[in-house]
């Protein structure tokens, strides 16, 4: 596999070279800045690129835009763990980056050991993704359809969601764009609260929730404390922590809690859905599983489906990584399988006769 590392700091290039020394199957080329990266793009023909954001001559976002124009390939952004770094990262995901890794100590991180396992894993996973922008996905670019994604797409039933109380969404790699695509088509009077676990580090979810709130009709908030769940509001689990559902004084609430090491990914989709099932009948839950590697939440969402609730798995044709939705389908847990741009419409059809939670609690 050919890996192009774009990093302006000589010290960081040396640190990364040392950390990749044990990866015998990687052919690595370094670029000093964005202009150097574009020069090497054609001659080296990388399979994956890691791209720093803050660079002289040509910054990472400008370089990324040129890469997607000249020779699209999977790009992983190396971001600083700051609010400014988070905002730039979401711009990069909008432009077509498939994922990001946050440097632990800012723009120049001598100690990369804490994130190297994550970076190596995401580099190898990136070869399975398709480089594309969210805008092209929404514009209806014709994607490939595999037998794996097409076979389960036939609906076996139209679920009865009139009594639904809560919509749960889980996503990981490629998820920010998918989540925004769905929420942009959800109206402000949506009858259910929406709870989202998106795998993301601390500080990034605040920027993501702000970005979503600006773009969507529904209110979007980062869940940073115990909060009653209101219809027409989206609650994004805080990065690096988990979210659980409780019932207090007959009302559903969401609590942010320290991450539990028994779960691999955080915020954990499995823990979110499992806690919801403890306090809400499965038939009153709707689950949506979006792009991401691994199987976080697949078993629990399959339980929603098997116990009378409704679930949607994002289809392989739009998923950046088909791991999480693919696992839900394999477990027989998907009511239907849809490309991401059709999920909101299906949710609106399912819930058009649903009594809003606020009115239900007052009756």
Round to whole Å and give the CA distance between 92 and 89: 5
199 in active site: yes
Asked if 134 contacts 183 with a C-beta cutoff of 8 angstroms, the reply is: no
Counting Cα atoms < 13 Å in the Cβ hemisphere of 80 gives 14
For the chain, what is the largest distance between any 2 Cα atoms, rounded to a whole number of angstroms? 68
Catalytic residue among 52, 270, 296, 315: 296
Close Cβ partners of 17 (under 8 Å, ≥ 6 residues apart): 28, 30
Alpha-carbon separation of residue 140 from 68, 134, 318 (angstroms): 17, 10, 10
Asked if 162 contacts 353 with a C-beta cutoff of 8 angstroms, the reply is: yes
For residue 247, the tally of other CB atoms under 10 A from its CB is 12
Asked if 132 contacts 96 with a C-beta cutoff of 8 angstroms, the reply is: yes
Close Cβ partners of 14 (under 8 Å, ≥ 6 residues apart): none
DSSP 258-279: EPPTTSSSSS-HHHHHHHHHHH
Nearest one of 258, 312, 302 to 282, comparing CA atoms: 302
172 in active site: yes
Round to whole Å and give the CA distance between 339 and 178: 10
For residue 214, the tally of other CB atoms under 10 A from its CB is 8
Catalytic residue among 8, 80, 199, 210: 199
Catalytic residue among 172, 209, 268, 270: 172
295 in active site: no
Asked if 244 contacts 253 with a C-beta cutoff of 8 angstroms, the reply is: no
Nearest one of 158, 194, 160, 143 to 339, comparing CA atoms: 143
Catalytically active residues are: 172, 199, 296
């Amino acid at each position: 596999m050919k890996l192009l590392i774009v990093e302006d700091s000589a010290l960081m290039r040396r640190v990364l070279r040392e950390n990749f020394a044990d990866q015998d199957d990687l052919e690595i080329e370094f670029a000093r800045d964005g202009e150097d990266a574009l020069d090497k793009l054609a001659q080296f023909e990388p399979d994956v690129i890691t791209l720093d954001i803050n660079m002289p001559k040509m910054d990472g976002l400008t370089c990324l835009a040129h890469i997607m124009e000249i020779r699209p390939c999977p790009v992983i952004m190396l971001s600083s763990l700051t609010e400014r770094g988070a905002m730039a990262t979401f711009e990069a995901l909008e432009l077509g980056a498939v994922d990001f890794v946050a440097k632990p100590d800012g723009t120049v991180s001598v100690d990369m050991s804490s994130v190297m396992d994550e970076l190596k894993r995401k580099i190898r996973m990136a070869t399975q993704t398709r480089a594309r922008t969210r805008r092209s996905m929404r514009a209806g670019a014709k994607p490939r359809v595999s037998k794996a994604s097409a076979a389960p797409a036939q609906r076996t039933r139209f679920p009865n969601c009139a009594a639904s109380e809560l919509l749960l969404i889980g996503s990981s790699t490629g998820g920010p764009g998918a989540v925004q695509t769905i929420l942009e088509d959800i109206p402000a009077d949506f009858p259910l609260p929406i709870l989202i676990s998106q795998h993301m580090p601390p500080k990034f979810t605040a920027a993501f929730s702000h970005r979503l709130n600006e773009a969507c009709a529904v209110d979007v908030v980062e869940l940073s404390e115990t909060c009653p769940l209101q219809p027409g509001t989206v609650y994004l689990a805080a990065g690096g922590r988990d979210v659980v559902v409780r019932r207090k004084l007959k009302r559903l609430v969401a609590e942010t809690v320290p991450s539990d090491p028994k779960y691999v990914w955080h915020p954990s989709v499995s823990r979110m859905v499992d806690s919801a099932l403890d306090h809400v009948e499965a038939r009153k839950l709707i689950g949506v599983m979006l792009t991401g590697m691994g199987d976080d939440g697949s078993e629990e969402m399959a339980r929603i489906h098997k116990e009378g609730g409704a679930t949607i798995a994002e289809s392989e044709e739009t998923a950046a990584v088909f791991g999480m939705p693919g696992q839900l389908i394999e477990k027989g847990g998907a009511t239907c399988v849809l490309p991401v741009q059709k999920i909101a419409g299906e949710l609106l059809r399912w819930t058009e006769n649903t009594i809003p939670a606020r009115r239900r609690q007052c009756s």
